[in-house]
Structure 1
Amino acid sequence: MTVYRILARGLPALAVLAAACAPPAPVQEGPPPAQAPAPAAAPARQDVQLPLKYQARPTVPEITPGDLMSRLYVLADDSMMGRQAGHRGNVMGTDYIAAEFRRMGLEPGGENGTFFQTIPLVVKGIAPGVSLSAAGQALTPWTDFSPLPPLGNTFPFGAEFRAQNTPVVFGGQLGGEMITDAQAAGKVVVLLPPTGDNGQPNGRWWPGYPRTRFPRAAAVAVAASDITVPAVLTLGQGESAELEEPGAQAPTGPAGMTITRAAAERMMGAPLAGMRPGTQGRTVTGSFRFGSRRPDAPARNVVAILRGTDPTLRAQYVGISAHNDHEGIADQALDHDSLIAFNTVMRPQGANDRPGAPSAAQRERIQGMLDSLRALRPARRDSIYNGADDDGSGTVALLEIAERMASSPNRPRRSVIFLSHTAEEAGLLGSEWFSDHPTVPRDSIVTVLNMDMVGHGRASEVARGGPYSIQMIGSRRLSTELGDLIDALNARRATPMQIDYTWDAPGHPANRYCRSDHFMYARHGIPITYLSLGYHPHYHMLTDEAQYIDYEHSARVAGFVHDIALEVANRDRRPTVNGPRQDPNAPCRQ
């Protein structure tokens, strides 16, 4: 499931827990070899776990916990390097998925007779060589000043900064008295941050506003680094992935940066206190540039088709989807068990939570948990976002469903299209591309059942969790008939799934309807259902590994999705669309 990258990476509070750690375990070169005993049931507690490494065994036609475990230990192995879209690890992961589809005898559903659909991914970020000096005195990047990235197509400013003895002018205070755009033309404009209700400088300001206010400036520098949150200061250091947009407007206009008050006074040559807007400063020289490049490796959707048996209905498709990518490799290694202890206490929903520093009581709980873990095993440093649950669990469930359907003598009337999307974590880019450029007619897709994070549903980890829990979103938004069909099917099961619809509420603050691949089909009017087991302390964390998955529960979810897909595939007519349809290019609304 997609999350803002900054939430997944910032863990400064862990520093208080860091202990002497053993070197990282050796990276395995390739998938584990076959042959191993059947897996035990997954543990309910984090201090008891399945093995860190597991040798996979051959799969069987039925959907089983053992098969899911064998598959996931391959897909979420360290050798896959976190499967980040546009990197070699994701290519390895998609090669594995395609090989499994091929082994099952499914038809290739990608481009040019293959299982793959390559999406036009580009990576955007800042180029090497960031520099800035004031009156010949160098300023330090990311300490004295921090470049801000371009603002995109809506406000296409700030892709490049080039200054050679460029004059500096004091522009005033944001929200207060400021100079005109004419006075700012061709200059670097230094601004003070706005003042809050308490009369103190306020670091909460939109980085785009100063650039739209002074479009003819060479650059706009807000003296707010001392009070601005670190997430803003480091925006320019990260990379983002986007779909290439031919003909998109090139970013122009003033560059943006945050600077410290000391750097601002160095640029002005005088204290800022009492300075009048329009005061002339020194000159600056420097440069930085944001640009785009091709990724290191292709980003690929994997698509396979099980052809239906009905001469008419086989031209229609029931879609089953999951995403194959995750977050890759972290900038720094952290102690695995310290992270578990901290997140269990402070981040019960993983990256969704923004904890402060632990209280004394919380610190004691964290340390007690860490001591218990240390008694069981040595320290292990970890830097790979394995993505076992997000969304390795959905991917291996997809493979299990495909193998069961492909091996059954009773094939469905409609065709089933298995969609393994890439670049979900980069902003649903793989599903956006496929839904805009489908390899089958878009209107032939009668529904899409999307699985994302179906590996953790224990009551100890997830609110309203339990052995038969399932969270469902969107099943009635476009087709009440689809939602009714699922509920009726569930009622007929020997042990019904306990469906939690609370996350589907309009306006729910978690915004889950907009955060996984199903939305890219819903925006085109295709009925969808999003199935998940929910958030937990491992969500978008380095600890999202295969040994913590509840394979019994995952198998129940996969069996449920399998049955829903067959129910839709064998009906005489497709689910009726009777819900409101949106403009496909409009923003998503929970």
Structure 2
Amino acid sequence: MREQARVRIVRGVLAIVAAASIGCATATQQSERGQGGGDPLSAQALSRRLYAFADDSMQGRQFGLEGNLKATAYLAAQVQRLGLRPGGDNGTYLQEVPAFRISLSPGARVMLDGAPLELGTDYLPAYPSSGRVHVPLSTTIIYGGNLADTTTLISPEQARGKAVFFNATNPNQAMFARAVRFTTAAALISIQNPRMGNPYIITTSQDTAAGLNRFIVSDDLARRLFGAEVATIAPGTAGKTLSFSNYAFTRAPALAHNVVAILPGSDPTVRGQYVAIGAHNDHIGMRRAGPLDHDSLRTFNTIAQRIVEARTKMTPGFPGQGLTPAERASIKVNVDSLRRIRPARPDSVYNGADDDGSGSIGVLAIAEALTRSATRPKRSVIFVWHTGEEGGLRGARHFTDNPTVPRDSIIAHFNMDMIGRGAASDMIGAGPGYLSLIGSRRLSTGLGDLVETVNRQQAQPLSLDYSLDADGHPERLYCRSDHVHYARYGIPVTFFTTGGHMDYHQLTDEPQYIDYDHLRKVVRLIHDVTVAAANVDQRFVVDKVKVNPNAPCAQ
């Protein structure tokens, strides 16, 4: 990219960030004023709720931790205030999702040639969901090769009883799958920054079998393993001795909840059937490695997205992804102009305003609107805020495996995940009125038709995009959110989303960047679709092939 073009991108991005700072102050003032008894589907009411739900005090709402418990308590208090019927366990609004916290036992030590290594700085375990691994007292480290090049890998026999170190450039799941073949190794080691991970995992697995002893190490420790740069080492080269003392894990129960509430239907003949509306109440917590400057991070990610889009005509699937080394090196962030507006803002909370604060407060707004309505839907509506979506759709799996109403009484499920953005600057193909629909006709043509009919009846119909629902789409969004667990049981679904953006899973996913007027239109559409679905004369016909509930998801 020519230097002039890069400069134009940088200047444009800095102007956008500066404008957002003014919008932040305005939105905060609106949030503080509140809306009293106004329209719960209004932009102002949605803003007020989202500023509360995505506040720093929620600590990023990570599954199984205090922040997520605060979020679920907030939602439960709100639906209780609305007078909705409890739909959780034992007459409450909470459905417990059995979970466990796995952490390294106190006193556990790992040593390299007798010198202790520091947890979280030198290394970090890949915490086994069972809390058990086979660990030798000591073993020799051996270089296993580069996972990106299968021709460099040693044989499983060479790995037997050894701590095998694998190099990997831009590691992915396919590479890690290659490493798992070495089941007779004493340990599997790869490079990744230990400071970026948490000193625990939260799991819902009931598995008790001992797993492979795996962990990641820092770049510095990787060099120390062999006393040389990894790139200079031949596969099969032996390194130093790794030893373990009192190396074990603790597996303790962790609290996690779905929030479930029910609005009973008005027609006794179909009141026992349900339309389900859902979103996920969790996000990804806090940055363990410490705070980053909010403005610098957002500016870098925005510039990076513009550069990749200009070259590929596609929006990267993750912020900062897709840059060439030269492009990455070309980005110089200068936020001096912003500093004249406000000081630097260190940020360590992943607020998840769009992901999925927007969906969570959208469900809550629809619940309030329906309770206030003079005319109730014929069928009942069940509202489910699933936990653990970010860790593998755990809350949705638990609810659909253990529903609090008969599973076959649920006639449709509507999922809202990231519905607060959708501007042309967020994603190529987006723009005014943008809304992506995923899965709406994968099980029932009738459900897809109903969504389109209701959209045409809106005062301002949205521009519906089905491109992300295409078979074989590389982003696989159909398989990556909660609705898929309803669909595996043959329940017709529609996933509503305004798509990705430069703040996805970043510290910068905050309420000031939400387009509240657009969010209002999306939530209004889903409200009206819910009412229409709850009032249909007959259940939606499943006229597409149902899948095996236990089969892997395919798009």
What's the TM-score bracket when you normalise by the shorter of the two chains? 0.7 to 0.9
TM-superposed deviation, 1:124: 3.1
1:339-378 to structure 2, matched below 5 A, reads: 339-347=297-305, 351-354=318-321, 355=323, 359=327, 363-364=331-332, 366-367=333-334, 370-378=335-343
CA contact (8 A) 2:159 2:182 kept: no
The question of 1:482 aligning with 2:469 is answered no
TM-superposed deviation, 1:439: 0.3
Q: Percent identity over the alignment? A: 40
Q: Which runs of 5+ in 1 are unaligned?
A: 1-16, 18-41, 195-200, 267-271
Bigger drift between 455-464 and 202-211 goes to 202-211
Q: TM-score, normalised to structure 1's length?
A: 0.77
TM-superposed deviation, 1:262: 4.5
| Structure 1 residues 105-150: Cα deviation after superposition (integer angstroms, max 9, x where no partner) | 211111111111111022334445453445545566677x746526
SS of match in other structure, 1:94: helix
- Distance in 2 (CA, whole Å) between partners of 1:582 and 1:81 is 38
| Equivalent position to 2:347, from 382, 397, 409 | 382
2:274 is aligned to 317
TM-superposed deviation, 1:461: 2.2
- Distance in 1 (CA, whole Å) between partners of 2:348 and 2:197 is 22
The question of 1:241 aligning with 2:241 is answered no
Q: 1:135 to 1:350 in 2, by over 3 A?
A: closer
The question of 1:417 aligning with 2:379 is answered no
The question of 1:263 aligning with 2:225 is answered yes
Q: 1:383 to 1:59 in 2, by over 3 A?
A: farther
1:103-122 to structure 2, matched below 5 A, reads: 103-122=81-100
2:253 is aligned to 294
Larger radius of gyration: 1
| Equivalent position to 2:292, from 327, 334, 357 | 334
SS of match in other structure, 1:318: strand
Letter in 1 for 2:66: R
How large is the Cα RMSD of the aligned pairs? 3.6
- Distance in 1 (CA, whole Å) between partners of 2:213 and 2:476 is 33
CA contact (8 A) 2:301 2:320 kept: no
1:424-463 to structure 2, matched below 5 A, reads: 424-463=389-428
TM-superposed deviation, 1:61: 4.4
The number of equivalent residue pairs is 514
The question of 1:303 aligning with 2:260 is answered yes
Letter in 2 for 1:260: A
| Structure 1 residues 22-67: Cα deviation after superposition (integer angstroms, max 9, x where no partner) | xxxxxxxxxxxxxxxxxxxx99953541327441342424521111
| Structure 1 residues 396-428: Cα deviation after superposition (integer angstroms, max 9, x where no partner) | 111111111111111111111111111111111
| Equivalent position to 2:43, from 40, 65, 68 | 65
Q: Which runs of 5+ in 2 are unaligned?
A: 1-9, 11-15, 307-315
1:251 is aligned to 210
TM-superposed deviation, 1:341: 0.9
TM-superposed deviation, 1:585: 1.8
The question of 1:285 aligning with 2:243 is answered yes
Letter in 2 for 1:395: S
| Structure 1 residues 133-186: Cα deviation after superposition (integer angstroms, max 9, x where no partner) | 45545566677x746526769xx9x824241xx4648697685796775x876x
CA contact (8 A) 2:127 2:201 kept: no
Letter in 2 for 1:315: G
SS of match in other structure, 1:384: coil
The question of 1:49 aligning with 2:7 is answered no
| Structure 1 residues 79-128: Cα deviation after superposition (integer angstroms, max 9, x where no partner) | 22222222222222222211221222211111111111111022334445
1:6 is aligned to none
Letter in 1 for 2:295: D
CA contact (8 A) 1:323 1:420 kept: yes
Letter in 2 for 1:306: L
| Structure 1 residues 183-215: Cα deviation after superposition (integer angstroms, max 9, x where no partner) | 876x43556769xxxxxx998884565664452
| Structure 1 residues 206-252: Cα deviation after superposition (integer angstroms, max 9, x where no partner) | 4565664452x5x1456xx6xx4x26x7797654332142xx24124
Q: TM-score, normalised to structure 2's length?
A: 0.82
Letter in 2 for 1:426: G
- Distance in 2 (CA, whole Å) between partners of 1:339 and 1:275 is 38
